[in-house]
């Protein structure tokens, strides 16, 4: 029943459409130039569709070219990366091949060192010890000559370093020159002498948190002779000053003389040594 109704409905629609087409044709047949209008409309629509097709093809080609360009670039990057990986692998393999040779060389050096140690006889060790003692003796003589030829200011610098080592007291040249009258305006000279003594290997130093000097080790010659030689040279300088002033009949400046004689005392007091 439903199938028949659908068939009748289709027939009715088809008949109505045919009647409408006939009526339109009859009605529009009276219009002059209808065919030309229709032809022109069809031509214009075809032209518009053709232009749209051309534009679409151009846009599509441009996008396609961009995609191809990106693919080519990515391919180049992948190729470059692949070559880099291959080169790294080659270098790594070469370095791995060198490892056995390096291990063999280390083994040979160890064996050579062991043979040298085994070949050292007691007599050779004794000769080496005697040579070391001779070098120390020569070094001591050089240090003694250095101390003997030092100026009073230089001896004062060495004496400060010796007392710093004995008392384990940190100090700075600027501070000690400000607090010890006999060392006033001598900071640069004392520091230069300190640098020279350190360069000669006469002492080992460290620095505290305020960059003050801490003398950890001093040559034995300095420990035993600096104070004696400094005291001797101060006495000689005081005598020369007295004789010079007496020769020229000058008035002896008692403060100046006292300053000469108080050199050792002032330095000891700075480092807390009981006088």
Q: Where are the domains of the chain?
A: 38-119, 136-270
Residue with tokens 């006088």: 275
Instruction: Give the pLDDT mean for 166-193.
Output: 87
What pTM did the predictor assign? 0.48
H/E segment holding residue 107: helix 34-119
Q: What's the CA gap between 156 and 162, in Å, rounded?
A: 10
For the stretch 220-248, pLDDT in tens is: 888 888 888 888 888 887 777 666 665 54
Residue with tokens 């045919």: 18
- pLDDT: which is higher, 69 or 37: 69
CATH of domain 136-270: 1.10.10
Residues 6+ apart with CB under 8 A from 150: 158, 193, 229
- For residue 44, what pLDDT is reported? 86
Residue 89 has pLDDT above 50, yes or no: yes
> What is the token pair recorded at 265?
């005392």
Task: Tell me if 217 sits within 8 A of 202, measured CB to CB.
Answer: no
Residue with tokens 């009605």: 27
Pairing between β-strand 203-207 and β-strand 213-218 as defined by DSSP bridges: antiparallel
Instruction: Give the pLDDT mean for 169-177.
Output: 90
Instruction: Give the pLDDT mean for 105-112.
Output: 72
Span of 10-24, 70-84, 250-264 with lowest mean pLDDT: 250-264
Neighbours of 136 (CB within 10 A): 11
Burial class (CB in 10 A: 0-12, 13-18, 19+), 229: middle
pLDDT bin (cut points 50, 70, 90) of residue 128 is: very low
- pLDDT: which is higher, 109 or 207: 207
The secondary structure of residue 192, as a DSSP letter, is H
Give the rounded percent of residues in the chain with a pLDDT score beyond 70. Answer: 76
pLDDT bin (cut points 50, 70, 90) of residue 81 is: confident
Neighbours of 226 (CB within 10 A): 24
> What Å distances lie between residue 51 and 42, 47, 91, 181, 223, CA to CA?
14, 6, 60, 105, 108
Residue 141 has pLDDT above 70, yes or no: yes
């Amino acid at each position: 029943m439903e199938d028949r109704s659908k068939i009748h409905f289709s027939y009715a629609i088809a008949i109505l459409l045919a009647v409408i087409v006939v009526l339109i044709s009859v009605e529009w047949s009276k219009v002059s130039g209808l065919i030309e209008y229709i032809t022109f409309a069809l031509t214009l629509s075809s032209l518009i569709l053709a232009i749209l097709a051309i534009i679409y093809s151009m846009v599509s080609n441009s996008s396609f070219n961009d995609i191809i360009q990106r693919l080519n670039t990515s391919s180049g990057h992948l190729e470059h990366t692949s070559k880099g990986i291959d080169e790294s692998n080659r270098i790594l393999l070469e370095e791995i091949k060198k490892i056995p040779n390096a291990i063999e060389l280390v083994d040979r050096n160890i064996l050579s060192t062991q043979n040298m140690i085994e070949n050292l006889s007691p007599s050779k060790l004794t000769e080496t010890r005697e040579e070391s003692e001779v070098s120390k003796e020569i070094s001591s003589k050089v240090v003694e000559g250095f101390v003997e030829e030092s100026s009073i200011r230089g001896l004062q610098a060495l004496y400060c370093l010796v007392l710093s080592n004995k008392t384990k007291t940190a100090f700075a040249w600027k501070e000690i020159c400000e607090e010890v009258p006999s060392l006033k305006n001598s900071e640069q000279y004392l520091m230069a002498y300190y640098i020279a003594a350190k360069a000669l290997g006469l002492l080992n130093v460290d620095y505290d948190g305020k960059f003050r000097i801490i003398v950890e080790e001093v040559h034995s010659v300095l420990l035993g002779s600096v104070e004696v030689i400094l005291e001797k040279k101060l006495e000689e300088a005081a005598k020369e000053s007295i004789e010079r002033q007496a020769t020229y009949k000058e008035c002896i400046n008692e403060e100046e003389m006292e300053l000469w004689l108080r050199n050792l005392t002032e330095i000891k007091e700075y480092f807390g040594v009981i006088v």
